[in-house]
Every structure is written in structure tokens, then in C-alpha cells.
Structure 1
């Protein structure tokens, strides 16, 4: 099974690279046009937004709070977004794009169905470790999003579950997985992955590493799904 260190060596997800992607996706909205300055200041803005939101909630965070936290003037903030709602959209959209893209890239390198499911589980887990503040923010703020954004967040979560379900269905067609309910099994896998980034304090107190946690989730999935008769043939 791929380790967390191996994942980080293959997937470069620095704050700088994420901010460059956000700049490229929102060039028509961002008034500052010097890439280096944009990347630097977007990093400050997003880091402060996630820190403040995870402490007091996005809607309780004022732009004055953000200005102080990011070390930028109010005028400078408005050079990057026109409202808190637009800032929220930028953060949510980019996080979902990155997660979806990397999952698809990594799963696409694997042929065997059993290994594909294992890869899908650990890559999602490792992404949530690298991007833990975003994953926590995205989950906790979903209920406060405007209706359209709420729908997009729900569809994003369901698409991840559907990815697991599709792999499970393929394994069932091949006879290597038992005829378990694919959607319910996928929901349980997703719930276990969410527990890692939502309650990380619990596992830190127990000195559980991300690799050890990933092994437990994978072992559970295969213990529940594996068709031992087919595997022995």
C-alpha cells in the first residue's frame, strides 16, 4: 500500500501551487495582475480565512478580522474578491477541483480492481491530511453555504461515494467482491475517512499515524467485501 511519504513525493500540493491555480481560475475577478504578488497574498488570505473560520466560523469572521489576520488592508482584500461569498466560492471550488483531479489521476494509474479501491481510499485520506484545514472548513461550513453552493457541496460528496461504489460494483462483476450494497459500503468508507480529518485530535492523542489509520480503513473494506472463494481459486 502506498505510504503517506510516497504520496507526498508524487503529488506536489504546496500552498504556492494551489494559489497559482486559484489565480489562473479567477484572473477575470482578481484586480491585481502581477502573479508573484497575487500568489503571495492569496496564500495569506486563504491561510487566515481557514484559521479564523475553523476557530470562530466563516460567517462570524468579519473582513476586518481577515484584514488583520492576513496582514493586508481592507482595500487590498477587495483587489482579490468582491465579497465574502465570492471568497468562499473560490476556496470551495478550488479545493473540490484539486481533490477530484488528484483522485482521478492516481486511480487512473491502477488496473486491478482491488488495488484501485485501495488507492482510492488512501489517496483521499492522504489528500485530507495535506489539506486538512480545507477539508475541515469545507465540511463545517457546508450548512452555512447559499443553497446553490450547498447543492454543489452535496454533489461533490456524493460523487466521491459514487467513485467507491463504481469500483465495488466492478469487483462484484469480476466475482472478487461479495454482493454487498455498494452505496451503503461507500458511505461507510467515506464516514471513516471523514472521522480522520474532523476528529484528528482523537487519533493524535492515541499516536495513530495517517498510514496506520489508512491500513485500518483498507483492511475493514476488504474484510467486508472480499470474496474469499474467488480469491482462493
Structure 2
């Protein structure tokens, strides 16, 4: 079975990260961030986007998604209308239809970005032989991606009910696959039984998601993304070490 791919690149094509990398190193090497995300969205949806002038399309995609996140945080995505989006972006209704046909499609495009990041980012750390070290890379990668793309992660978690049922099921299955991969790495440490590994993997997911869901809490306490990532890694390593100790 072929591995899933980002359009135009795989993580294997980029310089590997060491085990305990920080946010600065991650931002320097990541192939996808808040600066090139628009090109990624364009490439993934090129068959649905009617505007073929790439530069114009990238500018307007940025307007559309930034406005969507702003409206979702103020009036709520379910209450938002396409006319609201037109007012926020300055696009006409016809101009907007050149990029999206409905709110359902817009929500699906946002979910698609986060699903693909979450599902294949672990490939970046597959070169690390020790499963616990590889797990650390996956956790740091998830946290740092959610730092760069916080509005995207926040939207998908809070607005998943806006997806149609089929897309909602796809999103749920994707999260379960990520959790299953973490559980497998935990089991491969030899320190945890399968049930314990699955439960700790679920706890890992809850820990890393707290960063993009409750950013205000860490901002108030002046906690950096590196400090948060270090703390999550220490908690998980301590849990594995406790069960693995004689």
C-alpha cells in the first residue's frame, strides 16, 4: 500500500530532525507552515477551484480562510453565511464561488489540511530507531504544527459538527489512526501492555490538543511552546519509565 503524500513532496524529502528539537529548528525545516499553507490548499483543491491564475487564487484563499476563522470565533461558523464571508473578504458572491461552492466544502477543505498533517507527519520521525524517542518527535511535531497553524487546528476541533456526517466520520477515523500509531510506539517500548499503551496514547492526544484549544491559559502564564512541549514529553517519558521500572 502506498504511503499517503502531500502534493509535491513527502516528509522523507526533508532534512530529518533530531530527537529533542525545539520550535525554532522545526520552523526552519518544516515543509508546511503559516506562510505556504495557501499554496498547499490550492494544490489539494485545484480541481475544485475555478480561478486558474495562481497568484490571484493564493491571495484570495488567504482572505477567505482568515475571514472564516475570524467569523467562526465571533459569530460562530454555523451562524456565518457566505454573504458574511463576502463582506469580510471584499469578494463578490460570484468571486467567492470561484473558490468554494458552500460552507460544507469550506469546512471540508480546512479539515483536509489538518487530517493530512496529522496522519503523515510521523513519517518525518521514522528514521529514529528508539520507539520512545520517535514518539517524542511525533508529539513535538504535532504541538509545533498546531502552534504554526493554530486557527486551523482550533477550527477543526470545535467546528467538526459543521462537517457533513461522511466528512465527520473521515475526521474521526483519522484521529483514531494517529492515536493508534502513538499506541504502537508505546507498546514497542516494551514497558506497557497493549491496553495501557492505548490509554496512554489517548492521554497524549488530549495533552497536545490542549495547546491549541486553550492557548489563553498558557499565554496568561507566559509559557512558551517549547516549555509546553518539554513538559508533555517529560510526563509521557515518566509514565513509561514508571511502568517499565523493575
Matched, 1:94 2:113: yes
**Which position in structure 2 is the counterpart of 1:123?**
141
Sort the Cα spacing of 1:14 and 1:182 in 2 relative to 1 into closer, same or farther, 3 A: closer
CA drift at 1:87: 1.4
Alignment of 1:203-214 (within 5 A): 203-214=218-229
Quote the Cα distance in structure 1 between the aligned partners of 2:33 and 2:133: 27
**Which position in structure 2 is the counterpart of 1:6?**
25
* Structure 2 gaps, min length 5: 1-19
CA drift at 1:25: 2.0
Computed over aligned residues only, the root mean square deviation of the Cα atoms, in angstroms, reads: 1.5
Pick the structure with more helix per residue: 1
Match of 2:85 among 66, 88, 96: 66
**Which position in structure 2 is the counterpart of 1:220?**
235
Quote the Cα distance in structure 1 between the aligned partners of 2:109 and 2:91: 18
CA drift at 1:16: 4.9
Match of 1:40 among 37, 59, 78: 59
Quote the Cα distance in structure 1 between the aligned partners of 2:229 and 2:35: 27
Quote the Cα distance in structure 2 between the aligned partners of 1:47 and 1:105: 29
CA drift at 1:15: 4.0
**Which position in structure 2 is the counterpart of 1:54?**
73
Runs of 4 or more off by more than 3 Å in structure 1?
A: none
**Which position in structure 2 is the counterpart of 1:198?**
213
**Which position in structure 1 is the counterpart of 2:151?**
133
Q: Which moved more, 1:84-93 or 1:121-130?
A: 84-93
> Does structure 1 conserve the Cα–Cα contact (< 8 Å) formed by 2:131 and 2:189?
yes
* Structure 1 gaps, min length 5: none
Quote the Cα distance in structure 1 between the aligned partners of 2:123 and 2:192: 27
Sort the Cα spacing of 1:168 and 1:213 in 2 relative to 1 into closer, same or farther, 3 A: same
Give the SS at the match of 2:211: helix
CA drift at 1:178: 3.8
TM-score (norm 2): 0.86
Alignment of 1:74-85 (within 5 A): 74-85=93-104
> Does structure 2 conserve the Cα–Cα contact (< 8 Å) formed by 1:114 and 1:171?
yes
Match of 2:172 among 116, 140, 154: 154
**Which position in structure 2 is the counterpart of 1:188?**
203
Give the SS at the match of 2:50: coil
**Which position in structure 1 is the counterpart of 2:12?**
none
> Does structure 2 conserve the Cα–Cα contact (< 8 Å) formed by 1:16 and 1:43?
no
Instruction: Tell me the number of residue pairs that the alignment of Structure 1 and Structure 2 aligns.
Output: 224
